[in-house]
Amino acid sequence: LSLPMLFMLTAHGLYTNACMKGEECVPTTWDVFYEKWGWMLIFWNLVGVPFVYCFNSYYLLVANPQAPPTWFMALLFVVLFAAYYVWDTSQSQRNRFRMMQRGTYVKRSTFPQLPWGTLSDPEYMTTAGGGTLLVDGWWRYARKIHYTADIVMAFCWALACGFSGVLPYLYPAFFLGMILHRAARDEARCRAKYGADWDRYLAKVPSRFFPSIALVLRTPRTSS
């Protein structure tokens, strides 16, 4: 078992475990809630996921490329875990905030429950339609910070396969295009839904993918 193979097993394991431990969050994802259970989603889960998402692991098995240096793989593990932490906790914060707003939140003990996955008394905006927009936790720094973490993980998968071919980089290239397209669609939907409130939200959280230094250094609020 080579280091790149171990890396891919870890990466896939993190994804799989996240879906299992946070199964109550799946119905509110873009794929299920907005795309609906139609031909596109069915086809993609039957064809795209097995062949595209698993391609890098298959590439390592069949092509057996030269493994990157050990120090490079160690760095990739650090980046993977850091990106996963942001991806996991940011989505936990948002979904648990929604559940708390609806009175349906139940604390679970599924493993691992990462620190800062739940916000206590978070700051949020109330829209004219009565909805709420979270502007606290990771969501005070960027509107799509979970997408940023997801993209970083995708490129880590490719980098673990080394530099002897371009095929491993097809997955992150596809993933980047898909995520950028999805982000644009989601923001257009939110602008149509919230109207002027969306402009207020953009004023509070101006960054889409990457937090600005000013936002990172901004003093957290002391009261709601």
CATH code assigned at 92: 1.20.120.1630
Residue 15 lies in a domain: yes
If you search the block for the tokens 């008394």, which residue do you land on?
A: 121
Distance in angstroms (rounded) separating the CA atoms of residues 160 and 57: 10
pLDDT of residue 56: 95
- The DSSP symbol for 221 reads P
Residue 99 lies in a domain: yes
Q: Domain containing 27: what range?
A: 3-217
pLDDT of residue 42: 85
By the 8 A CB rule, do 59 and 167 touch? yes
pLDDT of residue 196: 95
If you search the block for the tokens 């978070």, which residue do you land on?
A: 122
Residue 185 lies in a domain: yes
Count other C-beta atoms under 10 Å from residue 118's C-beta: 19
Give me the residues paired with residue 133 across strands: 125
Digitized pLDDT (tens) for each residue of the chain, 224 residues in all: 899 999 999 999 998 999 888 877 777 776 676 677 778 788 888 888 888 899 999 999 999 999 999 999 999 999 999 999 999 999 999 999 999 988 888 888 888 889 999 999 899 999 998 899 999 999 999 999 999 999 999 999 999 999 999 999 999 999 999 999 999 999 999 999 999 999 999 999 999 999 876 566 665 553 33
Q: Residues 6 or more apart from 86 whose CB is under 8 A from it?
A: 138, 145, 146, 148, 149
Residue type, 89: T
pLDDT of residue 107: 87
Query: What's the total number of domains in the chain?
Result: 1
Residue 160 lies in a domain: yes
Residue 222 lies in a domain: no
Residue 63 lies in a domain: yes
pLDDT of residue 218: 61
Residue 223 lies in a domain: no
Residue 224 lies in a domain: no
